[in-house]
Homo-oligomer: A and B are copies of this chain.
Amino acid sequence: MSSCEFESLEKCLESHLPEAELTEVKHILFGKETKKLDLPSCALEAASERDFELKGYRFEAVQEQLRQPRRIRVGLIQHRIVLPTDAPILDQINAMHTRVGEIVEVAAMCGVNVVCFQETWTMPFAFCTREKEPWTEFAESAEEGNTTRFCQELAKKYNMVVVSPILEREELHGTLWNTAVVISNSGNVLGKSRKTHIPRIGDFNESTYYMEGNTGHTVFQTQFGKIAVNICYGRHHPLNWFMYSMNGAEIIFNPSATVGALSEPMWPIEARNAAIANHCFTCAINRVGTEHFKSEFTSGDGKKAHHDFGHFYGSSYVAAPDGSRTPGLSRTRDGLLVVEMDLNLNRQISDKWSFKMTGRYAEYAEELTKAVRHDFKPNIMKE
List chain A positions with a Cβ less than 8 A from chain B.
Answer: 1, 3, 6, 9, 12-13, 16-18, 20-21, 23-25, 27-32, 182, 184, 186, 188, 190-191, 196-202, 212, 216-221, 226, 233, 236-239, 241-243, 246-248, 261-270, 272-273, 276-277, 322-324, 352-355, 357-362, 364-365, 367-369, 371-372, 378-383
A273 touching B264, Cβ below 8 Å: no
- Minimal Cβ-Cβ distance residue in B for A276: B266
Query: With the chains together, A4 CA to B22 CA distance in Å?
Result: 15
Besides A198-B358, A199-B354, A273-B273, 7 other CB < 8 A contacts?
Answer: A12-B24, A16-B17, A182-B381, A236-B277, A236-B355, A247-B379, A262-B322
Specify the chain B residue showing the minimal Cβ separation from A214.
B363
A365 contacts B368, C-beta separation under 8 Å: yes
Hey, which chain B residues are within 8 Å of A247, CB to CB?
A: 371, 378-380
Chain B residues with CB under 8 Å of A182's CB are: 381
Minimum C-beta distance from A66 to chain B (A): 19
Of B196, B239, B273, B371, which contacts A270 at CB under 8 A?
A: B273
Smallest Cβ distance from A373 to chain B, in angstroms?
9
A268: chain B residues at CB < 8 Å are: 28-29
For A20, the chain B residues whose CB sits under 8 A away are 1
B367 with A27: CB separation less than 8 A: no
Inside 8 A of A24's CB, which chain B residues have their CB? Answer: 1, 3, 6, 9, 12
In the bound assembly, the distance between CA atoms of A273 and B362 in angstroms comes to: 23
Within 8 Å by CB of A367, from B12, B216, B382, B383, lies B216
The answer to whether B323 touches A266, judged by C-beta atoms less than 8 angstroms apart, is: yes
User: Using Cβ atoms and an 8 Å threshold, which residues of chain B touch A353?
Assistant: 201, 236
**B358 lies within 8 A of A200 (CB):** yes
A-B contact pairs, 13 of them (CB 8 A): A6-B21, A6-B24, A16-B18, A28-B267, A28-B268, A197-B359, A197-B360, A212-B360, A221-B382, A221-B383, A236-B277, A248-B378, A361-B371
